[in-house]
Copies of this chain bind each other. A is one copy, B any other.
């Protein structure tokens, strides 16, 4: 049966990088006879402009039907001032994550040897860096109720959000993380703030409980403030890190930046059955949109992740990853990873180079 891939270009540099990623996807689709049917739909600011809402019903329906989703990026200043909080590009992204229960967010932070110099950290601190942040993506304070802005007595306004996790939510993301650690170096660090927040006391308790099922994985706990420090001090101490939605948002961005090349990092957001949405770790970068400066490699590597995790096409994934490595060896660099002696190329040239390497 034909498998279905939904492509959501989104905003800013989204359309440009997705165009390059589609070239790569189309090529392996043919070469490996994957029989993938690829469709596009609107999300984020692009959807607001066209339909008035960030997640149109047709997009959600298409996302439900798809076997895998490839997203560019969403958001931009154009829509940031919308007073109606529901009509923001981010709500499109959050809506898909939540409606499709894509709770398992895998964010690798890998330092490519060819880009070792790009990090702001000293080479000995980051060389060989390869950590995986597992972030819970459909719960926590992102989605907790009640939330809003209300008036107290005296007409004073207060804003409020709720950070909430139940046992089952913690358990299912815990399993994703323990399984990931088992497949890697068997060390899992759970990050919480259990000295202050009750919700993370429960988090820690469930992680401990789960660890009995994974005696081969070494579980440790770290407070989030310390984790932020340790990522800067000695990032290679980590193998897999698991944490909630908000802490994961912060730590995964810090971890990505350690590599100095966030334009290289893909991510996966998976549901219980391995269906997933794949997207680059970076944002929509409206400041460079439309200028051919964006690095398409994170999106191309997201295609590889998609092939591996959701489309059962591991060999195609490996070929793509090898092709990316090859273009780096050819000294081709988009502006974000440019350095002396390398050849600066545009978004399209980089995409074409990967296709050629394939």
Which residues from chain A sit less than 8 Å from chain B, CB to CB?
Answer: 75, 80, 85, 88, 90, 94, 120-122, 125, 141-142, 144, 147-149, 152, 156-168, 193, 195-203, 224-226, 228-229, 231-234, 246-247, 249-254, 256-258, 260, 262, 283
Given contacts A120-B233, A195-B88, A257-B229, whether A163 and B141 have CB atoms under 8 Å apart is yes
Smallest Cβ-Cβ distance to A224: which chain B residue: B250
Q: Give CA–CA (A256, B230) in the complex, Å.
A: 11
Given contacts A122-B122, A228-B254, A229-B262, whether A200 and B159 have CB atoms under 8 Å apart is yes
Given contacts A166-B156, A166-B157, whether A228 and B200 have CB atoms under 8 Å apart is no
Is A161 a contact partner of B125 (Cβ separation < 8 A)?
Answer: no
Is A120 a contact partner of B195 (Cβ separation < 8 A)?
Answer: no
The 3 closest A-B pairs by CB, nearest first: A159-B199, A159-B202, A158-B166
**Which B residues lie within 8 Å of A224 (CB)?**
249-250
Given A228-B228, A229-B256, A231-B254, 7 new contacts (CB under 8 A): A90-B196, A94-B196, A141-B163, A149-B199, A159-B203, A226-B283, A233-B260
Q: Give CA–CA (A203, B158) in the complex, Å.
A: 9
Is A198 a contact partner of B85 (Cβ separation < 8 A)?
Answer: yes
Is A228 a contact partner of B253 (Cβ separation < 8 A)?
Answer: yes
Q: Give CA–CA (A262, B229) in the complex, Å.
A: 10
Is B262 a contact partner of A249 (Cβ separation < 8 A)?
Answer: no
**Which B residues lie within 8 Å of A195 (CB)?**
75, 80, 88, 90
Smallest Cβ-Cβ distance to A225: which chain B residue: B253
Which of A75, A80, A163, A201 neighbours the largest number of chain B CB atoms within 10 Å of its CB? A163
Q: Give CA–CA (A157, B121) in the complex, Å.
A: 42
Q: Which of B160, B165, B201, B253 contacts A226 (CB 8 A)?
A: B253
Copies in the complex: 2
**Which B residues lie within 8 Å of A247 (CB)?**
250
Would you give the shortest CB distance from A255 to chain B, in whole angstroms? Answer: 9
Smallest Cβ-Cβ distance to A252: which chain B residue: B225
Q: Which of B85, B152, B193 contacts A246 (CB 8 A)?
A: B193
**Which B residues lie within 8 Å of A232 (CB)?**
120-121, 232, 254, 257-258
Q: Give CA–CA (A62, B256) in the complex, Å.
A: 46
Q: Which of B156, B251, B262 contacts A167 (CB 8 A)?
A: B156
**Which B residues lie within 8 Å of A262 (CB)?**
229
Smallest Cβ-Cβ distance to A282: which chain B residue: B229
Q: Give CA–CA (A160, B224) in the complex, Å.
A: 17
Q: Which of B122, B141, B159, B260 contacts A201 (CB 8 A)?
A: B159
Is A159 a contact partner of B90 (Cβ separation < 8 A)?
Answer: no
**Which B residues lie within 8 Å of A253 (CB)?**
225-226, 228-229
Q: Give CA–CA (A162, B202) in the complex, Å.
A: 15
Is A164 a contact partner of B158 (Cβ separation < 8 A)?
Answer: yes
**Which B residues lie within 8 Å of A231 (CB)?**
254
Is B159 a contact partner of A144 (Cβ separation < 8 A)?
Answer: no
Q: List 19 A-B contacts (CB under 8 A).
A: A75-B195, A85-B198, A120-B121, A120-B233, A121-B232, A142-B196, A149-B199, A158-B167, A158-B199, A159-B164, A159-B199, A161-B164, A161-B198, A228-B228, A229-B256, A229-B257, A232-B257, A232-B258, A233-B260
